[in-house]
Structure 1
Amino acid sequence: MKHLLLLILCLLSGSITFAQKQITKPNIVIILADDMGFADLGCFGSEIHTPNIDKLAREGLKMTQFYNAGRCCPSRTSLLTGLYPHQAGVGDMVKYKGSPVYQGYLNEHCATIAELLKTKAGYNTIVSGKWHVGLQPSALAFNRGFDRSFIMLNNGSSYFNSAPLYNDGSKITFMLNDREITRNDTSKYLTQAITDFAIQSLEQIKTDKSPFFLYVAYNAPHWPIQALPEDIARYKGKYLKGWDKLRKQRYEKLLASGIIKKYWKLSDRDSRASDWDSLSPEEKDKWDTRMAIYAAMIDRMDAGVGEIMNKLKQLGKDKNTIVLFASDNGGSADEVKSLATVIQKNGTPGSVNSIDSYEIPWANVSNTPFRLFKRNTHEGGIATPFIAWFPGIIKAGSTNTQPAHFIDIMPTCLDLAGVSYPQELKNRKLTPLEGFSLKNVLLSKAWNGHDAIFWEHEGSRAIRKGNWKLVAEIDRPWELYDLDADRSETNNLAAKYPDKVKALEAEYLQWAQKVGVVDWNKIKSL
């Protein structure tokens, strides 16, 4: 009876006891990278200098089988709402595609983390960076629970200004709270601007006793690959060893760290990437420069993470703050130089006068040891390096290998804040959450997790149930993998276990009907 009374008192006061430390409504920081692969951080096998993010991993938790939704808009939607993207109206990107499930902006039946933490628990709420979950006023950050916001509405932008990026006449839109702003060539490098707004917002609320929720959505390292000259210089020449050797090097680091199992093979180099040794010296130099720019973008983002962490410490907020870090999808195979829709610029690589991407060969390195890329639902497209840091709460250097997904982030935030997910918000009926709180994972306790996790993006589709994964690209037959034995998806077992394929397909189709998936070929014909 005594213990029951104590539990009731804790619940009523909004405080929760983790391990030996009692916290009350922790500050919550979510940091999201854009188009960064599974193996692009130092703590996940990379040679790129990421000491600040590596420190979070060293002092916190790495989840090595954490999943995103495969692309920018769907992943951001799932992160913010705890729903599969289709359920929140963003089954694809931000253009209307013929049904409410593909309307292209957050619908009225979802709520964001900020809306619920603000209205139900009194949190100060801040977002800085890429928004990309709708262009409609009802879906903008200042109407979705954020007190302070500096956001980019589009998928990408120059890192030096807000000049048009596309040939269709569409503009790049940045917003400061509820008004549009223009970035010009004298503006800060975008990654720094995102960091600075986050820090300035924390400074503005430093005397407020209320907790805060900070969502930092970096645009790096999404194309166009552009970086500060001094950052590029630190990496130029380091990639002349080529992608074949670098993939092997990252693979070996992942093995040594225990992030991947010793019997998971390194997938073959993507067939569209050349043998590095077949390239001319001029070609090698071009490719080295591209990867140097990409690495510099991640390096600068990591420096921003360090600045934010230093500000938290300076304000005395770090001891009661949880930080979550992830990437919205795998490395991108986009070949921007071949896109007629993009305004082409061929100036100095990495500068404001250059529009370029690092393309298939280097994206294949980013996603080591996996296959395929952003937009695909093979592991290369949906595996994310996930890190959780909470001093005194999360065991330093811990690792969890259970499958989890972006849909779990919202319920985790609510659980930490002592907030129950409501059936309605502001007279809007809400779709029930799909995700589960990760609080037990953070505490190194048993977590029941998911019976199954699902994906669909532009016809690419998958289900993971236990160690089994059924996956197919658009208009392609199902492939079946035992991820415990083969997370690199190198041994297709579909022909060997046809009954398993049928059973998983039936479960996938049931989910697809539930969330409103439409045949992508029908959508394309609209």
Structure 2
Amino acid sequence: MPRDPLRILLLSLALFSVLGATSRAAEKPSRPNVVLILADDLGFSDLGCYGGEIDTPHLDRLAADGMRFTQFYNGGVCRTTRAALLTGVHPRRRNRGRLLHPDMTTLAEVLHAAGYRTGLVGKWHFPQRDVGFPVYRPTDRGFERYYGIAEGCCNYFDPSLPFPLYDKGRTPVPFLDGTREVHDFPEDYYATDVFTDRAISWLREFAPAARSGERPFFLHLSYTAPHYPLHAKPTDIRKYRGRYAKGYHTLRRERHQRLMDLGVLPPGTILSPPDPDGGDFRYDYAVPDWDSHPQQSHEAKRMEVYAAMVDSLDQNVGRFLEVLAAEQLAENTVVIFLSDNGGCASHAGDRDRDVRQQVLEYNTPFDGGKATHDYLGPGWGWAQNAPFRRYKVWTYEGGIATPMIVRWPGQVEAGSINPWIGHVIDFLPTLMELGEAPFLAEREGIPTIPPEGTSLVPAFRGETESRLRFLHWGLYGNRAVRHGKWKLVWGTSREEWELYRLDTDRTETVDVIQQHPNQFRRMRDSWLRWARRTGYPLESDRL
């Protein structure tokens, strides 16, 4: 049968048209949604995918489907991390120490101006009620939706309750629902669950426009868990009874080995020993020997409740991700998870042994319910960050290194581990690139400080070598600067500089400052310039 060239041509054009339409229909919207999940006081090795023994199957699955970072840094303490994460710049300490200023633009403001829907649930930590200084609420700084606590922590079962024996019965800062204060909470309230409920409701509200590509969304889940007070549901606590009877020294050794087995840390990584002074010279943070500890049972219960809080956090992340998938949004959503600082070694009465004894008596028996109030303490707070030194507010790796997981289907290699050196100041330029969002060079007529970080998108797509740059920290007298393989640290217990090669000594066990005087001076001078630029106090420094 003779072929008709014209008919063949027309059939071919029709087929190409159908295939092209099918291909276009299958294409994802050009700009991804972004979910940024921030845990509070979670240690480097608390998650199962980072060597922990706590049950975290949902976050472990997120890691299996995405990328784990091994050298990602936060700001070392809650508020500095949030300021840097939100603004893309190192905190500026001015106006009585406040960290969020009118000349800083937030990532929510940038993304909202570029057409994103925006919401923040959980911890804000910038109440800023000082006379003569702006009182910022999240809805003032780019978030359309907000529900959560303006301050740093609260009673998980009833946020209206004050903290007994803590700062003389500290009065809680009210919750906000948008701009409305919330003072009444139902009997079955648990903050981690309710934060997730609210985030899910916003997700469903934003979903139709996101699916169509009309308006993507940015949701920031800023949990208070597992920050003190140690509050968890009885069903979660029961899972961990007896699991910590061997103590925190054994826990550190076991986590250290698993981190190497998982490939998060290289074989041969040394487990750092206890710091010789035991802790911060200003307060009593000494880590007691476990075998001779006079209150082993109470200590073990603290960690049982803490583990239950992390378990609950994981359950809630899983609930959120399940709805994300059900709404057919998972394929075009970048999900990021990290912690705001290392594990916390605080304990009530750290400045006063008499107060500590009162707290111990108040919390006996200790059940993790709303009528108790306790902290994790220095032993477990140190073990959370295995194999590193120190914990929250210190600038050794235990204070500033964070687990960081990124899932981005089709862009991030599933199950990958990346040694890229990153910092929370990198999130603003990263989201600007992902969202095709220009930086806002001014807000309310005031020129804004440009981003100081670099985009993480190359790392998401598999690059492992970050741009060589100086990263700096300064917290309560502790300070540090990292430059490539080198890290310079000043700790308040020694009050002198220490230099480490992190490519061969990630756990900061061998001080090489005497062997590399030029490297020391170069990094010290960089830190001094940074401190002057950001307003970090130098009056008492002996450099």
TM (norm. structure 1) is 0.89
Counterpart for residue 13 of structure 1: none
Following the alignment from structure 2 to structure 1, what is the Cα–Cα distance between the partners of residues 127 and 468?
28
Counterpart for residue 265 of structure 1: 270
**Which amino acid counterpart does residue 248 of structure 1 have in structure 2?**
R
Q: Is residue 77 of structure 1 aligned with residue 94 of structure 2?
A: no
Bigger mean CA deviation after superposition, 511-520 or 215-224: 511-520
* Counterpart secondary structure, 1:145: coil
**Which amino acid counterpart does residue 346 of structure 1 have in structure 2?**
N
Bigger mean CA deviation after superposition, 468-477 or 369-378: 468-477
Counterpart for residue 5 of structure 1: none
Distance 1:478 1:252, change over 3 A: same
Counterpart for residue 346 of structure 1: 363
User: Do the aligned partners of 1:337 and 1:355 also contact (CA within 8 Å) in 2?
Assistant: no
Question: Alpha-carbon deviations, 1:159-209, whole Å to 9, x = none?
Answer: 111212242653322101011101446151111111111011112223334
- The 5 A counterparts of 1:299-314 are 299-314=311-326
User: Do the aligned partners of 2:421 and 2:466 also contact (CA within 8 Å) in 1?
Assistant: no
Following the alignment from structure 2 to structure 1, what is the Cα–Cα distance between the partners of residues 27 and 391?
41
Following the alignment from structure 1 to structure 2, what is the Cα–Cα distance between the partners of residues 297 and 197?
19
Following the alignment from structure 1 to structure 2, what is the Cα–Cα distance between the partners of residues 34 and 249?
23
User: Do the aligned partners of 2:155 and 2:231 also contact (CA within 8 Å) in 1?
Assistant: yes
**Which amino acid counterpart does residue 109 of structure 2 have in structure 1?**
E
Match of 1:426 among 435, 441, 444: 444
User: Do the aligned partners of 1:224 and 1:356 also contact (CA within 8 Å) in 2?
Assistant: yes
**Which amino acid counterpart does residue 62 of structure 1 have in structure 2?**
R
Following the alignment from structure 2 to structure 1, what is the Cα–Cα distance between the partners of residues 106 and 519?
37
Q: Is residue 46 of structure 1 aligned with residue 46 of structure 2?
A: no
The total of aligned residue pairs comes to 488
Following the alignment from structure 2 to structure 1, what is the Cα–Cα distance between the partners of residues 511 and 184?
49
Distance 1:246 1:430, change over 3 A: same
Following the alignment from structure 1 to structure 2, what is the Cα–Cα distance between the partners of residues 316 and 21?
13
Q: CA deviation at 1:338?
A: 4.1
Following the alignment from structure 1 to structure 2, what is the Cα–Cα distance between the partners of residues 458 and 173?
27
Following the alignment from structure 2 to structure 1, what is the Cα–Cα distance between the partners of residues 302 and 441?
49
Match of 1:128 among 106, 121, 125: 121
Match of 1:408 among 419, 426, 430: 426
Distance 1:486 1:421, change over 3 A: same
Q: Is residue 506 of structure 1 aligned with residue 525 of structure 2?
A: yes
Bigger mean CA deviation after superposition, 177-186 or 387-396: 177-186
Runs (4+) off by over 3 Å: 20-23, 337-345, 445-448
- The 5 A counterparts of 1:25-424 are 25-86=31-92, 91=93, 99-100=94-95, 102-119=96-113, 121-136=114-129, 138-162=135-159, 163-165=161-163, 166-167=167-168, 169-184=170-185, 186-208=187-209, 209-270=214-275, 271=278, 272-279=286-293, 283-338=295-350, 344=359, 345-346=362-363, 348-424=366-442
Bigger mean CA deviation after superposition, 371-380 or 132-141: 132-141
User: Do the aligned partners of 1:69 and 1:455 also contact (CA within 8 Å) in 2?
Assistant: yes
User: Do the aligned partners of 2:154 and 2:172 also contact (CA within 8 Å) in 1?
Assistant: no
**Which amino acid counterpart does residue 306 of structure 2 have in structure 1?**
Y
Question: Alpha-carbon deviations, 1:31-86, whole Å to 9, x = none?
Answer: 00100110000000000000111111111011100000100000011111111012
**Which amino acid counterpart does residue 148 of structure 1 have in structure 2?**
R
Distance 1:21 1:509, change over 3 A: farther
* Counterpart secondary structure, 2:451: coil
Unaligned runs of 5+ in 2: 1-25, 279-285
User: Do the aligned partners of 1:66 and 1:386 also contact (CA within 8 Å) in 2?
Assistant: yes
Distance 1:407 1:21, change over 3 A: farther
User: Do the aligned partners of 1:263 and 1:485 also contact (CA within 8 Å) in 2?
Assistant: no
Q: CA deviation at 1:447?
A: 5.2
* Counterpart secondary structure, 2:505: coil
Counterpart for residue 477 of structure 1: 496
Larger radius of gyration: 2
Question: Alpha-carbon deviations, 1:269-307, whole Å to 9, x = none?
Answer: 354222322235xx2221111100000000000001001
Following the alignment from structure 2 to structure 1, what is the Cα–Cα distance between the partners of residues 207 and 497?
53
Question: Alpha-carbon deviations, 1:232-254, whole Å to 9, x = none?
Answer: 01001011122121111100000
- Identity among equivalent positions (%) equals 37
Q: CA deviation at 1:22?
A: 5.6
**Which amino acid counterpart does residue 250 of structure 2 have in structure 1?**
K
Q: CA deviation at 1:397?
A: 0.9
User: Do the aligned partners of 1:221 and 1:297 also contact (CA within 8 Å) in 2?
Assistant: yes
What's the Cα RMSD here?
A: 2.0
Bigger mean CA deviation after superposition, 383-392 or 490-499: 490-499
TM (norm. structure 2) is 0.86
